[in-house]
Chain A
Amino acid sequence: MIFDINKIKQDFPILQQNIYGKPLAYFDNAATAQKPKVVIDTVSKYYSEENANIHRGAHYLSNKATESFENARKNIQQYINAENSHEIIFTKGTTDSINLVASSFGRKFISKDDEIIISVMEHHSNIVPWQILCEEKKAKLNVIPINEKGEIIFDTFEELLNEKTKLVAITHVSNALGTINPVKEIISKAHEKNIPVLIDGAQSIPHLKVDVKKLDCDFYCFSGHKVYAPMGVGILYGKEKFLEEMPPYQSGGEMIKNVTFKKTVFNELPFKFEAGTPNVGGVLGLSAAFDYLNKIGRENIEVYENELLNYASEELQKINGLRFIGTAKHKTSLISFLIGDIHPYDAGIIIDKMGVAIRTGHHCAQPVMDWFKIPGTIRASFAFYNTKDENGRLTEAILQVKKMFG
């Protein structure tokens, strides 16, 4: 299929509107991505025609919904190339997936004086659950530092690995800087010492071709809403050998085989980790989003987004006084910057009024902002439906900010 940007934009109903009388230029994709019509239609069709509770197969609709739901699981398994479909656990999102692992893996495998490694550039959802776990277990949290470009310092990471290390939890792509971490190398180094690795994939699944088998990660977490699917659904991929040994996270219906007041026998994978009625509509939406991305072609998306990143970087570099935060060699289509001494909050208000949606602030990654000694950044994060013309609107908005605060 030929990548036709004008046609692609038509697939997203929300992008057709005006904001403050100007066509919307949506550059807040790292916060959440917009949904193509096929995803919206899939969710709508589910509630219009198929809605029933699943795995309780007493009637026609319930069977049908169960079948769609389990087909979606297989589809998602294929998309990330997992070995087994029962290694795909449905959650509410990345945060939920990480909390599941912190709670369940933590209960079983972490004890006093053990160590967990994260990095400086983590999102709060890949910091706080580990912090709480370490406090509870009297374990230690070690942090991989970064250089001024926003790349992790690999040597220090290697030095941090020791016989006490029980887990490495690191983001594939930084939501604040756009850095793509060398996760394959990180995983193989950790595996040399038999240490499992959790990858926060919230920002990589929308942009990169992810193959969990090739990466050989032990856990991979992501959110549906950042990959063109509905909010409230996410995935935890986990290797069978860990998921089998881990105790259930939440408990209730669906996750049991047999309950008496004496003893409860837990269900097998993946249901052991899916207590309660899941977000069936969201799961079907996620599966539809993956079909849509496959149709456009994941290589096409990567090539186009790279082109957009290079173009936008060149254009923004022409503006005097911009300071770029995060200039790693390997980046996804995300640019974090500051305009001279202008506070990101001031800039954000004006840019918004120009019909350009960006995000300002610390992006839920305060430690990395502290590392750069800045209160926050202005972040433009691009998706494959963004255009070079829209980037021109961002340039225009930045010049307006400079004019007003200069």
Chain B
Amino acid sequence: MTIQEIENQIISEFANFDDWMDKYNYLIDLGKSIPLIDQKNKINNNLISGCQSKVWLRAEYNDGKIIFTADSDAVITKGIANLLIRVLSNHTPDEIINADFKFIDIIGLNEHLSPTRSNGLISMIKQMKLYALAFKTKMEAN
């Protein structure tokens, strides 16, 4: 599936929720099924700064595509990280760099985009794009 197709899938899933509680219960569930970063990779180098909760994010390059794994000490943050991974993981650096994340607004999680929330959604997106850029640069240099 393309990034756009996955985003559309998420949008239709979220359309089923009538209130905030369903939505957050779903995020909590998503938190539990996140592609977990290996315990040995939960190191300071993989820690994203600027969040009230801790977020570890790792990117691996495999056959032209990037695979992300993550973890957080807060469950809702973990759920949001899982959504981002679902959208971006297994795509090429170029696809990731060009993703616009309009779905976040549509599914009503834009409140988490405000820098005061400091839950790291913005930092996570930035970090994922940075990884994509780094892999792209490395690839082109080779």
Q: Are B54 and A375 in contact (CB under 8 A)?
A: yes
B interface SS class: helix
Q: Are A345 and B74 in contact (CB under 8 A)?
A: yes
Task: In the complex, identify which listed stretch (A56-64, A105-113, A159-167, A346-354) lies at the interface while the others stay far away.
Answer: A346-354
Q: For chain A, residues 8 to 51, give those with C-beta under 8 angstroms from any C-beta of chain B.
A: 20
Select one of A345, A361, A376, A404 contacting B77, CB under 8 A.
A345
Q: A345-B119, A350-B24, A353-B24 are in contact. Are A405 and B54 (CB under 8 A)?
A: no
| Residues from chain A with Cβ under 8 Å of B75 in the complex | 342-343, 346, 405
A360: Cβ under 8 A from any B Cβ: yes
Q: A343-B73, A343-B74, A375-B73 are in contact. Are A349 and B24 (CB under 8 A)?
A: yes
A360 to chain B, nearest CB (A): 7
Q: Are A345 and B53 in contact (CB under 8 A)?
A: yes
B52: Cβ under 8 A from any A Cβ: yes
B104 to chain A, nearest CB (A): 15
| Residues from chain B with Cβ under 8 Å of A405 in the complex | 28, 75
**Contact residues on B (Cβ < 8 Å of other chain), bracket:** 10 to 19
Q: A353-B20, A375-B73, A405-B75 are in contact. Are A345 and B52 (CB under 8 A)?
A: yes
B94 to chain A, nearest CB (A): 33
CA distance A375 to B75 in the complex (A): 14
Q: Are A361 and B52 in contact (CB under 8 A)?
A: yes
Q: Are A349 and B76 in contact (CB under 8 A)?
A: yes
| Residues from chain B with Cβ under 8 Å of A342 in the complex | 75
Please name the residue on chain B nearest to A400 by beta carbon: B21
Q: For chain A, residues 310 to 368, give those with C-beta under 8 angstroms from any C-beta of chain B.
A: 342-346, 349-350, 353, 360-361
B110: Cβ under 8 A from any A Cβ: no
CA distance A346 to B54 in the complex (A): 12
| Residues from chain B with Cβ under 8 Å of A350 in the complex | 24
Q: For chain B, residues 18 to 52, give those with C-beta under 8 angstroms from any C-beta of chain A.
A: 20-21, 24-25, 28, 52
B76 to chain A, nearest CB (A): 5
Please name the residue on chain B nearest to A350 by beta carbon: B24
Please name the residue on chain B nearest to A348 by beta carbon: B52
> Can you list 14 pairs linking A and B with CB atoms under 8 Å apart?
A342-B75, A343-B53, A343-B74, A345-B52, A345-B76, A346-B53, A346-B76, A350-B24, A353-B21, A360-B52, A361-B52, A375-B53, A375-B73, A404-B21
- Minimum-distance CB pairs A-B, first 3: A343-B74, A345-B74, A345-B53
